Amino acid sequence: MERRNHGIFYLLLVGLITSCSGASAANTPAGNASVSRQDDLALYQTNLISNEQSILANFPTATHYTLAIELVEPYAVIEGQEKITYFNNEDVELNEIYLRMFPNNGGDLMHVSGLKVTGVETSFELEFNNTAVRVDLPTALQPAESVYLDITYDVQVPTDFGGNYGLFSYIDGVLALDQIYLIIPIYDDEGWNVEIPATNGDMVYADPAFFNVTVTAPSELVIAASGVTVDKQEDGATTIHTILAGPERDFYLAASEAFVVKSEQVGGTLVSSYYLADYPDGGEYVLGVGVDALQTFNEYLGTYPYTELDLVGTPMQAGGMEYSGIVALGLQYYDPQAVFSGMSAFTLLESATAHEVAHEWFFNMVMSDQIDEPWIDEGMAQFLTGLYFEDNYGTTSARSYRDSWDYRWERVGHEPIAIGLPVREYEDIAYSAIIYGRAPLFIHELRQKMGDEVFFNFLRTLFLENKWDVLTTEEFRVTAEQACDCDLQQEFDNWVYPR
């Protein structure tokens, strides 16, 4: 996620970018593609470029979500039906399953009215301030066994920014549906990863999964979503959209009657910018930045896997937010005449766009624990944004953006606070300063120590070896030490580990 810091974050970028602008189961919902409970993964080839389609063979027991969502004006309440096939991929039996209800982090918005386990109505408990549902299984789920959940729920849609930066809202004719369904968190050596979400950090920590989504909506709505739309059926004044997405960490959807769409093809990927008709310059600018960022990260890390990348402008109180195959960007920056604390809106818009696109590599393809080790994905996204500027504008622009990390860190007086702490252990000002400022400076420090040839080999190896997996701090260190054939104990002591 890209958080705003108007006073100091991008000061040295002003003037550098303006000259370079331009650039199944029974009861499958109506309209859904025909799938079995285990799902025919070949259906998801349409979501993947040709060189990536073979990865589907690696996910025979990935979680499968079938969602049916109905959007009815005035969009005050959304009703949903969710069916989940979950496999126990652990080496221990599971006696319960947790489901996260992240909209409840901003209030009592999401309610479950019915829950069945393999066809039998089952009771459940709400925990962690109603942001988690604990389902006690009737019999223990053994390794390699699967269980089938059927959930009926509804969620109230806020009409103001509320909690979590307004990422879930209906504002100014834009419906932004952040975490509109119940998601199963990762189970690891700590057990189920459930806790009260921090107010200043990201929340999703999930395994790759597959999503078969039916959205019934007024035909006037233009929908941007994770994955690809494989079918549209008109039914009077409504349209039934069938969307397939996966492997992906989450599913996101935004919609508006006023969206305009412009697209550009990059290799096997169609990059599309969704924006309100009042902001054509901003929408076209985002498309150009998204295309350039995609090309940069493809070259330095590895190829983006999907046939689509959507960039959508929505009202929010942040610079942007990452999701699988789609990013949301702060609509306030789409006005080329707007100025924020002396800075051009497009200056902020460009860096936010590149940052969120970078998360497709470090968040979506390479997951890390965003709650306990937020430095990995945010530090990498910040560093890669600097690489975007270097690759597209040269070293002067990259140096100016890198200086902005130092300005962030300066907010806490350059105090050497460890970057490897959980979100909850940072105060708000320190979280921004350390995770978005000091963390990318540490990665730059590694680049300086290794030299470019070794460092960029390390970067690519780090991505490829952890693609579709979870990267930890220790795995990051081991890969770095192997790449440079050196001991990085002192660097990790000085920057990463708590003292």
State pLDDT tens for residues 298-318: 999 999 999 999 999 999 999
Number of independent structural domains in the chain: 2
Show the domain range for 130.
Answer: 41-257
Q: What is the mean pLDDT of the chain?
A: 92
Q: Which of 12-16, 131-135, 228-232, 326-330 has the lowest mean pLDDT?
A: 12-16
* Position 3 confidence tier, pLDDT thresholds 50, 70, 90: low
Q: pLDDT for 422-461, tens place per residue?
A: 999 998 899 999 999 999 999 999 999 999 999 999 999 9
On whether both 72 and 208 belong to a single domain, the answer is yes
Q: pLDDT for 393-424, tens place per residue?
A: 999 999 999 999 999 999 999 999 999 999 99
Per-residue burial over 143-168, b = 16 or more CB atoms within 10 Å of its CB, e = otherwise: eeebbbbbbebebebbeebbbbbbbb
On whether both 234 and 331 belong to a single domain, the answer is no
pLDDT at residue 20 tops 70: no
| Whole-Å CA distances, 305 to 24, 122, 226, 266, 480 | 26, 38, 13, 12, 25
On whether both 59 and 92 belong to a single domain, the answer is yes
pLDDT at residue 4 tops 50: no
Residue 67 lies in a domain: yes
Residue 26 lies in a domain: no
On whether both 429 and 352 belong to a single domain, the answer is yes
Give the whole-angstrom CA distance, residue 484 versus residue 489: 13
Give the whole-angstrom CA distance, residue 482 versus residue 405: 27
On whether both 221 and 85 belong to a single domain, the answer is yes
On whether both 472 and 423 belong to a single domain, the answer is yes
On whether both 344 and 419 belong to a single domain, the answer is yes
On whether both 142 and 227 belong to a single domain, the answer is yes
The predicted pLDDT at position 342 comes to 86
On whether both 208 and 270 belong to a single domain, the answer is no
Burial of 281: CB neighbours in 10 Å, binned 0-12, 13-18, 19+? middle
Residue with tokens 């806020």: 158
On whether both 267 and 399 belong to a single domain, the answer is yes
pLDDT at residue 382 tops 50: yes
Q: pLDDT for 131-189, tens place per residue?
A: 999 999 999 999 999 999 999 999 999 998 876 788 999 999 999 999 999 999 999 99
Whether pTM exceeds 0.85: yes
Average pLDDT of 316-329?
96
Measured from the Cβ of residue 416, the count of other Cβ atoms closer than 10 Å reads 12
Residue 1 lies in a domain: no
Tokens matching residue 105: 């982090």
pLDDT at residue 59 tops 50: yes
On whether both 436 and 466 belong to a single domain, the answer is yes
